[in-house]
Structure 1
Amino acid sequence: MKVMSKDGTVRVKVKSQRQGYYFTLPIVVMLASLIIYPMIYGFYISFFNTNLVTKWNFVGLKYYTAAFQEAAFYQSVLLTAWFMVLVVGGHFLLGFILASMLNKEFKGRTVFRVIFMLPWFFPEAVVALLFTWIMNPMYGILNSVLKGAGLISTNVSWLGSKELAFPAVVFVCIWKGFPLVMTMILAGLQSISKDYYEAAEIDGASKWAQFKYITIPALKPILTTVLILDSVWWFKQYTLVYTMTAGGPGTATNLISLSIYGTAFNDLRFGKASAWGILVFFICYLISLVSKAVTRDDE
């Protein structure tokens, strides 16, 4: 509405700030119903020994204290942490190499950018089923190629072996997730002015010195964000691993997310599973704090 100011001029004022709240209300309700409420409800049932139907026995903090005394919890968390380190490390190594290559001028660069982004476009379930077929010990194409090249003499059970299942799953997860890291690093590299590198070359700085004192400091904000997002995402990874191995053979790929799923829907111990889920939430939060501390800017 229009209102008259003290000096007699007319100025336009927004009718009501409530309109902004009306526009944001649907997304707030959606977030509350899909994220906030399930988290609160999960925290609530973690205090009960329940099947969610007929049994609601209050146990307090029993499942939280028991988790720190249960070897299966520690083993699953440590396996998941090792899995996260390998996958995220592979993403950054491969992402840096490909981003540096794609940052250079050459013919067909756009085509290669699209090709390298393809793994990220496929749903995780599709990728898992694809590589399950590729690594099949009887008719998988991987064994056929390796036998044709003379590298193996008999078929290998890539996902059925305790020694090979975990590396195989890590490889697939690296292949699936590296495009995101590559794209973010490439965007950061393109934002760095070439004048810095030209000045460094004039001063006689080596390629390593340019990378250490120009590239890394300029990419720190992007690297921090990507490191946190990638670490948390793959620490709670479920779909790829479950579809490929279901946590087997034995407990070779039994990540904490699969342990929680099995506890809830196989053992019907929803309270215990909820308590483990809350602990994983705090572990992910701790990962973000550690990542920020490690990659923080020097004063």
Structure 2
Amino acid sequence: MTRIIRRLSDTGTSYRALFCDLWGCVHNGKTAWPEAVAALQEFRAGGGRVILVTNSPRPKGPVAEQIAGMGVPRDAWDDIATSGDAAQYALFAGAVGHRVHHIGSTPKDDPFFTDVPPELEALRAEGPAIERVDLDQAEGIVCTSPLNEYDDRPEDYRAAFLYAKARGMKMLCANPDLIVDFGETRLLCAGSLAKFYEELGGEALYFGKPHPPVYDLARRRLAAIDGTLTDRDILCVGDGIGTDILGGEMEGLDTLFLTEGLQAGNFGPAERLDAERLEAFLTAEGRNPTLTTGFLR
């Protein structure tokens, strides 16, 4: 059974590193939550390390700029590992071919193709250049987000996906999230389109949470900061029961479930979580987070 705590500091000295989700935990897509920022700063001030592990399809550079603009200061984190970072390795290795059809929001998602970290330059130089082409000319699909995050639904892509499936195209999904809350508005994510493609018989490749590649990347970035830390030192923090919590459990890591993200309001007031309702939900989902709290604070 999960242990309900009030705040991050209630964990005491049990953990020396956090793999912390961003959207729904530290910010709402528009602005950072001051208490969440303060919790990360306090954890680092006590000697802890913070790796922000996000399913954003963009590389860490643009994500760092984005969260700075929302009010997340540089002293709140040590490094960032994104689904986009992990998926870029597969893109430049030709996992879905080199002539790809891009489904995503432009120019917002363009950095996935253009912001290449130094460690990938050699890989990019080895193979043919990645070209974004129309679907009928493509070898595979790269999905970073719906074309219109506000209005699109998976069913809108049925005809294109059936055509792609018939041609045996694989889809590289750069963000496995199904939905996010942008302020008070719920938006569709690339994961919903990838799931629909699979339901139609297509094959999708995933690199963000809950899948191993982004955790491997987060561990490498943590080790570059402090090579003495082990999995026993890491706590995964997130509001996604099927991404953050499932992923952490699959990696053998302890987890902290934040109820007031995607599941906001489902377990009573955040200050007095209903333990019975929470446990029923977790049992139905087949998850057992080590710890649970309302907000990151």
State which structure, 1 or 2, has the greater radius of gyration over its C-alpha atoms: 1
TM bracket, shorter-chain basis:
under 0.3
Higher strand proportion: 2
TM-score (norm 1): 0.25
Report which of the two has the higher share of helix: 1
TM-score, structure 2 length as denominator? 0.25
